[in-house]
Structure 1
Amino acid sequence: MNQSVIFSDVQYWCDETQQVCFSAQLSGLLIECFISLPALEKISAQTIVDSHNALDVFTQYRFDIEELAENAIEDDRYDEQGRIVIF
């Protein structure tokens, strides 16, 4: 695991995108990261029923999700707004 990517312990539900948002930091640069509900359901093999459930499931699978985000950061898979989105 790349020690230069640091993840915050903060996550929240984004109503606008219907995704869980979390952040990473790389060489002092803050990177917004998102995971979609379908991706979260696939990783967890659970059905997400609401935003509270999504956050709980995110917490349970945090390390797996952070690994996916770290790989995306290392591979420069940023969207047009400079964010990492896991679909």
Structure 2
Amino acid sequence: MNQAVLFNDDIHYDVALSRLVFTAMVSGMIVPCVIAVPATLEEPLVHFRNHQFDYEMQAEELIEDESYSASGEIELTFL
């Protein structure tokens, strides 16, 4: 894992937008990482915990590729 990217333990589910949000520290900056969640998923936080390592790896790759959205977020693919 690249030590320039550190993941915070701050996952939360945004009910209004149906997405999971966690943050990464990249060279001292906080970067929101978002995952659009299907409306049918009953336990989004449990899903994240079960796939946390995979989501963090995906986020790290996207950050290294500088694949930021127009709003400065990293948009992950739902697993």
Give the TM-score normalised by structure 1: 0.81
| Partner Cα distance (1:19, 1:9) in 2 | 16
Task: Look up the match of 2:32.
Answer: 32
The code of the aligned residue for 1:31 comes to V
| Partner Cα distance (1:86, 1:61) in 2 | 12
Give the TM-score normalised by structure 2: 0.88
Find runs of 4+ consecutive structure 1 residues off by over 6 angstroms.
none
Task: Look up the match of 1:42.
Answer: none
> Structure 1 regions of 5+ residues with no counterpart?
39-46
Task: Look up the match of 2:41.
Answer: 48
> Structure 2 regions of 5+ residues with no counterpart?
none
| Partner Cα distance (1:37, 1:79) in 2 | 17
Compute the RMSD of aligned alpha carbons: 1.3
How many residues are paired up?
A: 76
Taking every aligned residue pair, what percent have the same amino acid on both sides? 36
